[in-house]
Structure 1
Amino acid sequence: MQLVELDGLKDALVGIPGVSGLSTEQRKRLTIAVELVTNPSIIFMDEPTSGLDARAAAIVMRAVRNIVDTGRTVVCTIHQPSIDIFEAFDELLLMKSGSEIIYAGALGHRSKNVIEYFEAIPGVPKIKDRYNPATWMLEVTSMEAEQRLSIDFAQIYKESTLFWQTDELVKELCTPAPDAKDLYFPADYAQCAWKQFTTCIWKQFWAYWRSPGYNLVRLSFSFLTALLFGTIYWQQGTKINDQEDLLKIMGGMYGAMLFIGINNCFSVQPFVDVERQVFCREKAARTYSPIVYAFAQVVVELPYTLFQTILYGLITYSVIGFHWSVDKFFWYLFVTLCHFLYFTYYGMLTVAISPNAQVAAVISSAFYSIFNLFSGFLITRPQLPRWWVWYYWICPLAWTLNGLVTSQYGDMRKKISIDGKPQQAIEDFLKDYFGFQRDFLGVVAAVLVIFPIFFALLFSISISRFNFQKR
């Protein structure tokens, strides 16, 4: 932190670029500091001063100079540097269009070596007093200058003494010592998988803790939705006298779960999108395994989703007035938890396969209507055409509705009035009309567990495979 002059900001939050937290040049210095953690002997920087004003660029280059003074080598690509920034470097590698080298060597005090080299070429104009050597160098070696002078700077360099000196130095440095051994790394990463996971989960925990907006939004939405549907269906959970009463309660349960599930999906997308930007950089540096990162991202959601489930479940279960029994209550929480999780992980998956959160929102939205249509509520399974029944069985919402309704009413023998038919027990009506059976509840529970795992695995694979970075 002291090396990049950030010790005064060691407790500051990084924040969101352009919105809060560190400034652009502070973020650049922080990025450099992160790379220094592994104590590398050489560091490559791609345009460290781009997008900065003169003062900010000078601060960044001062930090770079501090790193060089510790004995490390820093290789930078840089465009249109000021005099001070240009002369902060020790060596220069200059290439023209076509990636041909036209100068490689020491810069010299106040760019003396570079200026003397190019001024010695016949036809090249002398540099003016107080003129930026970098600007002059680019002007005199431009394609137009080559055509005007009828020379090839790349060929001139290859025929120069400087080229042969550099070539000999490269050969010398590339020759291994007699007792040197080939580099061998026993593992792809510096730490074992468990250490990577604990580090990633610690990082993700603090990222969530320092992002109260994300969690407050979904918790507030769950609380308000629970109150809204709870007050609409006030104490009607056990007042089932006819088919209409049962369908009304089912509609309330289903609607509330669908609203919150979609909100979970939308809420997580921008958060994961921002986190992915950091992940891509750390993945390129092989800081940790992508699978380990994805697993940590999945696991860190569990406590927050569990709290959301308990908050929503306690309110709706008591206010709507379902039958109070331990098994029914925990079945209700279990189905709700699985439902919230698979919608959350589905949102994470859409981000992993999309270039940004906006595209992810479009992709996820395309399936909401399909999920809703084949959930078994608008069109029950017995009423579906045989060629579409297969989609019912793979629709997550269908299993959520099955689990919610069957766990609460699948064992009730109370007779209710059925439109145009004799009275029928609730258990039998659910079996005949929806295809819900209490004996099938174990399978429903297993499938509800599989869906979050399935989406989490797809997220892990996708975040590892797809890279939408343009750099």
Structure 2
Amino acid sequence: MGLEKSLKTKHTYAKVRLTHEAFIALQEIPGVAKITKGYNPATWMLEVSSTLAEAHLSIDFAEIYANSVLHRESQQDLYNLLGATYAAVFFLGATNCFTVQPVVSIERTVFYHEKAAGMYSPLSYALAQLKACMEVIYNILQGILYTILIYVMIGYDWKVDKFFYFMFFIIASFNYFTLFGMMLVSLTPSAMLASILVSFVLPLWNLFAGFLVVRTAIPIWWRWYYWANPVSWTIYGVVASQFGDHGGSLLVPGGSPVVVKQFLEDNLGVRHDFLGYVVLAHFAYIIVIFFVFGYSIKFLNFQKR
């Protein structure tokens, strides 16, 4: 136990042992011997934070550091994580939305001939598009791989619930992006027109996703679009699941430290206890977009003879 604490302490202080802040912080700990004139500061810091020093003073330097100002995250650190989260959610999903459209457009032409022959119903075809084309399975596999890579690179907490929340929101976003691209093809006569519509819609999704302009800063008469935007629900879900229950301190420029979860509630409008509704919203978007796609295939016929 003592060795583990010692290693943790040395690892913690090794990062900042030559900084003025760490030097001052150590000297302010009650019981720690003051450095003498001409003594090597690095050597002194290692000596006073050793296992023997901990045992002699009956303190845990790692715990002291964890509760100190040095360990507090800054507001910029949090926004950097939010930016990485936003990029992870939006850009690959948007790519899926574009790339699925030519495939669906070609297969729709084949469907017109098979529909005329009475081979199967439009909803069966829509379900086959989702299953036989392996869109869902592909998105799940893509989401799992993407989650593992991104989760490690961003540096989220390795907790089971946080990891699977992140994976769920990534996979769900890939699916509604893909289905949205399929839906636009079913509503338009060509993949080109569907692509133009995507180019119009995605910038709006991007703008009202809650990152470039946070929900609390959006004019009240435009907030309906924030709630209607599936990407905003995904960003909300990822942020709430990863940081919404964070009890650590956050350094705010020009202000006193605040608790991370309180900062999110006050400034971004993100609450951890809203996660259940966010999960349900993702299922709702996927189901609604799927049925719009299916019924559009059934009732809209853009075949030219």
TM-score (ref. length: structure 1): 0.49
Paired letter, 1:361: S
Distance apart, 1:313 and its partner CA:
0.3
Matched-pair contact (CA < 8 Å) for 2:88–2:150: no
Kindly indicate whether residue 242 of structure 2 is the aligned counterpart of residue 408 of structure 1.
yes
Aligned match of 1:291? 123
Q: Residue by residue, what CA displacement relative to the aligned partner does 1:96-150 show, whole Å, maximum 9, x if unpaired?
A: xxxxxxxxxxxxxxxxxxxxxxxxxxxxxxxxxxxxxxxxxxxxxxxxxxxxxxx
Which residue number corresponds to residue 301 of structure 1?
135
SS in 1 for 2:258: strand
Q: Deviation of residue 450 (structure 1)?
A: 1.1
Structure 1 regions of 5+ residues with no counterpart?
1-238
The one-letter code of the counterpart of 1:433 is: N
| In 1: Cα distance, 2:130 partner to 2:270 partner | 31
Are 1:396 and 2:230 counterparts? yes
Match of 1:278 in 2: 110
How many angstroms apart in 2 are the aligned matches of 1:256 and 1:368? 15
Partner of 1:451: 285
Q: Gaps (5+ residues) in structure 2?
A: 1-70
Note the C-alpha offset of 1:425: 0.9
What's the secondary structure of 1:355's corresponding residue? coil
Residues 374-389 of structure 1: pairs in structure 2 closer than 5 A: 374-389=208-223
Change (3 A) 1:419 1:268: same
Partner Cα distance (1:382, 1:463) in 2: 39
Contact 2:187-2:300 at 8 Å conserved across structures: yes
What is the CA-CA distance between 1:455 and the residue it aligns to? 1.0
Post-superposition CA distance 1:185-207 (Å, at most 9, x none):
xxxxxxxxxxxxxxxxxxxxxxx
Q: 1:350 aligns with which of 184, 191, 195?
A: 184
Structure 1 CA distance for aligned equivalents of residues 218 and 292 of structure 2 = 29
Secondary structure of 1:402's aligned partner: helix
1:373 corresponds to: 207
Matched, 1:241 2:73: yes
Is the 1:265–1:344 contact (alpha carbons within 8 Å) kept by the matching residues of 2? yes
Q: Does 1:257 align with 2:96?
A: no
Q: Deviations over 1:241-291 (max 9, x none)?
A: 111111111111111221101100011001111111110111111110001
1:7-86 to structure 2, matched below 5 A, reads: none
Equivalent of 2:260, from 420, 426, 430?
Answer: 426
1:331 Cα deviation (Å)? 0.3
In the TM superposition, residue 410 of structure 1 has moved relative to its aligned partner by 0.6
> Is 1:470 aligned to 2:299, yes or no?
no
Whether 2:150 is the aligned partner of 1:316: answer yes
Q: Which residue of 2 aligns with 1:331?
A: 165
**Amino acid aligned to 2:77:** D
Question: Partner residue of 2:15?
Answer: none
Contact 2:72-2:249 at 8 Å conserved across structures: no
Q: Is the 8 A contact 1:406 1:438 kept in 2?
A: yes
CA offsets, 1:76-113, max 9 Å, x none? xxxxxxxxxxxxxxxxxxxxxxxxxxxxxxxxxxxxxx
Structure 2 counterpart of 1:319, which letter?
Answer: M
One-letter amino acid matched to 1:255: A
User: Could you tell me which residue of structure 2 aligns to residue 129 of structure 1?
Assistant: none
Counterpart amino acid of residue 305 in structure 1: N
Q: Is the 8 A contact 1:240 1:246 kept in 2?
A: no
SS at match of 1:421: coil
TM-fit CA distance, 1:297: 1.1
- 3-state SS, counterpart of residue 404 of structure 1: helix
Greater Rg by CA: 1
**2: CA distance between counterparts of 1:365 and 1:396?**
16
Give the AA of the match of 2:145.
L
Q: CA deviation at 1:420?
A: 2.6
State the match for 2:275 in structure 1: 441
The amino acid across from 1:370 in the alignment is L
Structure whose residues are more often helix by fraction? 2
Deviation at 1:419, TM superposition (A): 2.6
Instruction: Give the drift of 1:354.
Output: 1.3
* One-letter amino acid of the counterpart of residue 284, structure 2: I
Contact 2:210 2:226 in 1 (8 A): yes
Tell me the number of residue pairs that the alignment of Structure 1 and Structure 2 aligns: 233
Runs of 4+, deviation exceeding 4 Å? none
What is the Cα-based RMSD across aligned positions, in Å?
1.2
What is the rounded CA distance, in whole Å, between the counterparts of 1:364 and 1:286 in structure 2?
A: 32
Partners of 1:254 and 1:240 in 2: how far apart? 23
C-alpha distance in 1, partners of 2:153/2:72?
16
Partner in structure 2 of residue 267 of structure 1 = 99
Percent identity of equivalent pairs: 42
AA of the residue aligned to 1:367:
V
Would you say the 8 A contact 2:84–2:154 is kept in 1?
Answer: no
Query: Secondary structure in 1 aligned to 2:73?
Result: coil
1:63 aligned partner = none
**Aligned partners of 2:86 and 2:235 also within 8 Å:** yes
